[in-house]
Amino acid sequence: MKRAKIIGVGAYAPRRVLTNPELEKMVATSDEWIVQRTGIRERRIADPSEATSDLAVKAGLQALAVAETHGSEVDLVVVATCTPDHVMPSTASIVQNRLGATGAGAMDVNAACAGFVYALNMAAGLIESGRAKTVLVIGADELSIYLNWKDRNTCILFGDGAGAVLLKAGDEPGIMSSTMGSDGSGAGLLTIPGGGSRFRMSANGKKPVGQYLTMNGSQVFRWATQMMTGAAEQVIASSGLNLEEIDLFIPHQANMRIIESTAKRLGLAPDKVFANVDRYGNTSAASIPIALCEALDKGLIKVGDNVVLTSFGAGLSWAAVALRWSAEIPERLSPWVPFRQTFETRVAAVRSALRRQQRRVGTVIDETLHRDS
């Protein structure tokens, strides 16, 4: 049976940095209060001109470049997000078009902060079954647009970003085991009510209902530490490993206290746990792939290492994978890569423009023939 292995990684964070001292001017809080309770010191905020697909494309291009793979070689693009560009079409379809992945299917996965690991599990299953050979998985979110900047319990936590991995079929172990789960009885603990069929537009049709993210922090904290621990233990056991054989543990970057509590429950030493929540905040589905990229950049993962990823999110959902790292990530990309990708994305843009023009012309011809008949 073919195994799914990661051959490329990429990440993108918006330029704007929002620090705790800046938040002190926006809401009743303090740098000390935020750091003590969350470990977060700053987060990235997307520019109003940046949609989720824009972040996803930049991360996806980097993953393709690292893997020296063309968009045309990708069989499927999966974007894990709970902040899509539109209710429809899928953000993945927009990303697929801009990457020039003309032969690829495209779909979004919404498991909130657990979405990336959900998508990773699904992609691995398609590769293992032989139904796909190359899958691009992207986690991208802009939760800042749903934050109430007067609510210090939520606005201090979240940031924006995107991370991506390219999976390919291979004979080496790669992803060894995975698990996914959900407990919908807790769906109301972490939610953005507005925008769906349950909470529609208000009577005047203008002001959205329930547009802000709401969270029961204490209950989510207790549940998250239990479920991330249980999911990690499950994939470690099902992969045939023991705790001592885990080289690096990368949990969802939601809150430093949750990360530390989960690591303590598992019995992992601090040097085997990766965290960057202090600089990015909770980037939802993007948090694990961004952390994975940084861990690789710091030389914390080498070929043959066993890595565990575990996450939780709204739903309430959770997911984890255990994988054996098998890709040599180049320290420096070929200088031709930027030129090649610029050419490919421009060709994709021209193709897209031509297809739209063909449809317009076809519509005019159809309408003219209909009138004449």
Active-site choice (97, 110, 282, 306): 282
Q: What is the rounded average pLDDT for all residues in the chain? A: 92
Q: What is the DSSP string of 61-98?
A: HHHHHHTT--GGG-SEEEEE-SS-SSSSS-HHHHHHHH
Contact 255, 34 (CB under 8 A): no
| Model confidence at 203: pLDDT above 60 | no
Separation CA 237–CA 81 (nearest Å) = 29
Mean pLDDT within 14-31: 96
For the chain, give the number of residues. Answer: 373
Between strands 175-182 and 317-324, the pairing is antiparallel
Contact 167, 123 (CB under 8 A): yes
> Can you list the pairs that 183-187 forms with residues at least 24 positions away whose Cβ atoms lie under 8 Å?
183/315, 183/316, 184/315, 184/316, 185/316, 186/219, 186/223, 186/315, 186/316, 187/314, 187/315, 187/316
Q: For residue 152, what are the CA distances in angstroms to 21, 25, 157, 192, 215? A: 13, 12, 9, 16, 11
Contact 140, 79 (CB under 8 A): yes
| Model confidence at 373: pLDDT above 70 | no
Q: What pLDDT is recorded for position 316?
A: 93
Q: What pLDDT is recorded for position 236?
A: 97
Q: Which two tokens stand for residue 319?
A: 């997911």
Q: Tokens 């990690």 correspond to what residue?
A: 232
Mark whether 282 is an active-site residue: yes
Least confident of 2-11, 30-39, 198-207: 198-207
Q: What pLDDT is recorded for position 355?
A: 82
Mark whether 113 is an active-site residue: yes
Under CATH, domain 3-324 is a member of which superfamily? Thiolase/Chalcone synthase (3.40.47.10)
Query: pLDDT (tens digit, 9 = 90+) per residue, 139-183?
Result: 999 999 999 999 999 999 999 999 999 999 998 889 999 999 999
Burial of 334 per CB tally in 10 Å (0-12, 13-18, 19+) = exposed
Q: Which of the four pLDDT bands, split at 50, 70 and 90, describes residue 350?
A: confident
Position with higher pLDDT, 97 vs 353:
97
Position with higher pLDDT, 373 vs 244:
244
Q: How many C-alpha atoms does 326 have within 13 Å on its Cβ side?
A: 19
Closest by CA position to 73, among listed 106, 100, 98, 93: 100
Sequence ranges of the domains in the chain: 3-324, 337-373
Q: What pLDDT is recorded for position 372?
A: 66
| Model confidence at 305: pLDDT above 90 | yes
Closest by CA position to 231, among listed 118, 314, 324, 128: 118
Position with higher pLDDT, 357 vs 264:
264
| Model confidence at 103: pLDDT above 70 | yes
Q: What pLDDT is recorded for position 344?
A: 79
Contact 299, 306 (CB under 8 A): no
Q: What pLDDT is recorded for position 209?
A: 61
Q: What pLDDT is recorded for position 351?
A: 83
| Model confidence at 207: pLDDT above 70 | no
Query: pLDDT (tens digit, 9 = 90+) per residue, 218-238?
Result: 999 999 999 999 999 999 999
Mean pLDDT within 253-267: 95
Q: Which of the four pLDDT bands, split at 50, 70 and 90, describes residue 208?
A: low
Mean pLDDT within 346-352: 82
Closest by CA position to 173, among listed 13, 29, 1, 17: 1
Contact 15, 55 (CB under 8 A): no
| Model confidence at 297: pLDDT above 70 | yes
Q: What pLDDT is recorded for position 231?
A: 96
User: Which backbone phi and psi does 96 adopt, to 5 degrees?
Assistant: -55, -45
Q: Which residues are CB-contacts of 234 (< 8 A; sequence separation ≥ 6)?
A: 177, 179, 320
Q: Which residues of 98-134 are buried (b: 16+ CB within 10 A; e: fewer)?
A: bbbbeebbbebbbbbbbbbbbbbbbbbebbbeeebbb
Q: Tokens 């429809």 correspond to what residue?
A: 88
Active-site choice (20, 82, 110, 113): 113
| Model confidence at 49: pLDDT above 60 | yes
Q: Which two tokens stand for residue 368?
A: 């003219």
| Model confidence at 191: pLDDT above 60 | yes
Helix (H) or strand (E) holding 39: none
pTM of the model: 0.92
Active-site choice (20, 82, 110, 252): 252
